[in-house]
Structure 1
Amino acid sequence: MTVSAFKIAVDDGSTNVKVSWIENNQLKTIVSPNSFRKDWKSAALRRDKRVYNYTIGTTKYTYDATSDKALETTHVDYQYDDLNLLAVHHALLQTGLKPCPVTLVVTLPITEFYNSEDCQRNEAKIAKKRENLMREISLNKGELFDVVEVEVMPESLPAVMSTLINSNCNEFTRSLVVDCGGTTLDMGIVVGEFDDVSAIYGNNEIGVCMVTDAARKALAAADSDSSYLVANELIKRRDDLDFVKDVVNDESKIEIILEKIETKIDELGSAVAYEAKKFSKNPNRVYLVGGGAPLVYPAIKAAYETLGDRVVLIKDSQSALARELCLYNTEEDEVHIERETLIEVEDE
């Protein structure tokens, strides 16, 4: 007897994994941060806290939100390694769904999904990604989802599908989609209401990791070694002085740390704007998606100043791709979008 698999969309980025699924005709979304280290963690003293200890092959890993020994995920090879497998399974467990057979719709950066020479699908890398997520993994004292099939989609462009279809643009409108993620910058030109994709471009050396690395170094200099997760949270909550003081041990260095973060954000914005103008000098519209979109939005808006409000920061830009992939692959006739559910940053 064939068991039908539940379909879940997963934008498995290097910094966070975004998961969308449809439950009781409602679209639901969570964002699960990546922060894993080797070896297992001891059982939690509090009964309401769960420990996630995993094994892949002979290697033990654990989820540890605050450890400065957290393994680096900000590199393209992450798409095919143990950390990617860990991040996806860990994110699935955060959905609250009961573990079951699942079909995953996952993503690859544009530079990995397409061949640079002819812009055709890179079947070898797509297969490599699929095979990686079909590998064996176990959870100590727990049950994992059974991945029975993996479908691979390109990043960025599908994130604006609903926006374009409802935008009343004509068949000649050229929309530039800019996806600034943790590790990569992906861009594409979409014609009309997603009638055609005329060009794609990717750079795997530009991403929010530029800011994250600077934040971690600045924290270390202030006797505040941190995980990538904590550094990213500091970047997001840099205007919350109470949070900043909790994270930084040497409070005399707070001003310097914040200045370094702002400088790197400016550098990231300038780099993304330069690449965007080089790729598409005069699009009719610009849409920003990805976790880094809010950081680079001011720079992109300035770069395309004549477009005014046609430079659009997509709502909930970090999880937009997962939501759109879920809607694109659903067979439901009518779906209601529930407000995004965010996984809080805490040490389980």
Structure 2
Amino acid sequence: MTKPLKIAIDDGSTNVKASWIANKTLKSIISPNSFRKDWKSAALLRSKQVYNYEIGINKYTYDPTSEKSLSTTHIDYQYGDLNLLAVHHALLQTGLPPCDVAITVTLPITEYYQQDDCQRNDANIERKKQNLMRPISLNKGELFNIVSVDVMPESLPAVLTRLMNSGVNPYTKTLVIDCGGTTLDMGLIVGEFDEISEVYGNRALGVSLVTDAARTALAAADSESSYLVANELIKRRHDANFVREVINDESQIARILEKLERKIEELGHFVAEEAKKFARNPNRVYLVGGGAALIYPTIQASYSTLGERVILVEDSQSALSREICLYISDEDEVFSEAPVMLEVGHV
């Protein structure tokens, strides 16, 4: 009997990051979330895949550009239809043939741990598992068969390898800051993962602060967009060609870009303020998550005495899924490939 393939999935609200090992090589993809109600008609191009899903009586489709895309920037995303859609859609983007899979997914720290005693919130963990075991179908297509679901906390495992190989002493305090699409997660690790001394999360602070401002600004420039397009604009705001493609009223470009920069600065300020309240004097700081690059300069300035010990983790958006994949793997030696980001036009 063939064993199910192990796949690590950091199923964030903005993007789903999936990692797996094939022929001793660690592979990763980043699959953006953008779903709306009802189905699309078949594409005119035969090479273009249409993803029409059904969950119970509800029909959904993957639509990267529709202004009717459903919001995932709320904590209930973790336990509902959109999460189930996002995970299955990401599995289809791996390029693997549909098969039995054992997946390890994530929950924000505020959901994974109980606030009063820092212990596992077994009710939330079980709720997440059951949600991903629900039936779902793909019109004119085959889905992966999820045979088991494990759940790990967000952010902290993303630096597991780095800490284990860093030679830190047993008294070193490492602050991990995970700025995602919807939530801000932070944890304080002692030594080489000897213990997790404290965790903290803010369910209402994430890159969505910038995304919502981008969508509002685009709408005012006759350029209503999906959350996915708004996030692409944030990421590619220095790409003049892309900016002109998504903003119809070109007289508004300078104003929109200025607003984005202000909101990015605001996000960094809020995160730095939260971080300083949580851990005023850590020995080192690691930044992970989709918003890590946006807030990195502000966090550097906030912990200026640490210098190079404020570290933006390489490929920070997919770092968590890759580390979890290595953690659950049975392989002794694994080579790593760069993650593949599926852009707006790719799926």
TM-score scaled by structure 1?
0.99
Alpha carbons of 1:347 and 1:334: their partners in 2 closer, same or farther (altered >3 Å)? Answer: closer
CA distance, structure 2, for counterparts of residue 302 and residue 159 of structure 1: 23
Q: Which amino acid aligns with 1:308?
A: G
Is residue 163 of structure 1 aligned with residue 152 of structure 2? Answer: no
Task: Within 5 Å, give how 1:164-313 maps onto structure 2.
Answer: 164-313=163-312
Post-superposition offset of 1:345 = 1.6
Could you tell me whether the CA contact under 8 Å between 1:66 and 1:347 is conserved in 2? Answer: no
CA distance, structure 1, for counterparts of residue 346 and residue 279 of structure 2: 43
Q: Secondary structure at the match of 1:176?
A: strand
CA distance, structure 2, for counterparts of residue 201 and residue 38 of structure 1: 34
Could you tell me whether the CA contact under 8 Å between 1:64 and 1:347 is conserved in 2? Answer: no
Post-superposition offset of 1:5 = 1.2
Could you tell me whether the CA contact under 8 Å between 1:164 and 1:193 is conserved in 2? Answer: yes
Bigger shift: residues 164-173 or 43-52: 164-173
Please name the residue that 1:46 is paired with: 45
Could you tell me whether the CA contact under 8 Å between 1:7 and 1:103 is conserved in 2? Answer: yes
Q: Which amino acid aligns with 1:96?
A: G
Q: Secondary structure at the match of 1:4?
A: coil
Post-superposition offset of 1:344 = 2.2
Moved >3 Å (runs of 4+): none
Q: Secondary structure at the match of 2:49?
A: coil
Is residue 128 of structure 1 aligned with residue 144 of structure 2? Answer: no
CA distance, structure 2, for counterparts of residue 89 and residue 40 of structure 1: 16
Please name the residue that 1:151 is paired with: 150
Post-superposition offset of 1:3 = 4.7
Please name the residue that 2:13 is paired with: 14
Post-superposition offset of 1:83 = 0.3
Is residue 32 of structure 1 aligned with residue 39 of structure 2? Answer: no
Please name the residue that 1:86 is paired with: 85
Give aligned pairs, total: 347
Please name the residue that 1:115 is paired with: 114
Please name the residue that 2:58 is paired with: 59
Give ranges in structure 2 of 5+ residues lacking alignment: none
Is residue 98 of structure 1 aligned with residue 97 of structure 2? Answer: yes
CA distance, structure 2, for counterparts of residue 305 and residue 90 of structure 1: 41
Post-superposition offset of 1:347 = 6.6
CA shift digits 1:285-322 (9 cap, x unpaired): 00000000000001100000000000000000000000
CA distance, structure 1, for counterparts of residue 169 and residue 102 of structure 2: 35
CA distance, structure 2, for counterparts of residue 325 and residue 149 of structure 1: 16
CA distance, structure 1, for counterparts of residue 96 and residue 30 of structure 2: 14
Q: Which amino acid aligns with 1:279?
A: F
CA distance, structure 1, for counterparts of residue 204 and residue 67 of structure 2: 23
Q: Which amino acid aligns with 2:117?
A: D
CA shift digits 1:82-140 (9 cap, x unpaired): 00000000000000011111111000000000111111111111000000000000000
Give ranges in structure 1 of 5+ residues lacking alignment: none
Please name the residue that 2:330 is paired with: 331
CA distance, structure 1, for counterparts of residue 339 and residue 184 of structure 2: 24
CA distance, structure 1, for counterparts of residue 228 and residue 200 of structure 2: 28
Q: Secondary structure at the match of 1:210?
A: helix
Q: Which amino acid aligns with 2:26?
A: L
CA distance, structure 2, for counterparts of residue 304 and residue 134 of structure 1: 43
Q: Which amino acid aligns with 1:148?
A: V
Could you tell me whether the CA contact under 8 Å between 1:12 and 1:88 is conserved in 2? Answer: yes
CA distance, structure 2, for counterparts of residue 110 and residue 225 of structure 1: 33
CA shift digits 1:129-188 (9 cap, x unpaired): 000000000000000000010000000000001111111211111000000000000000
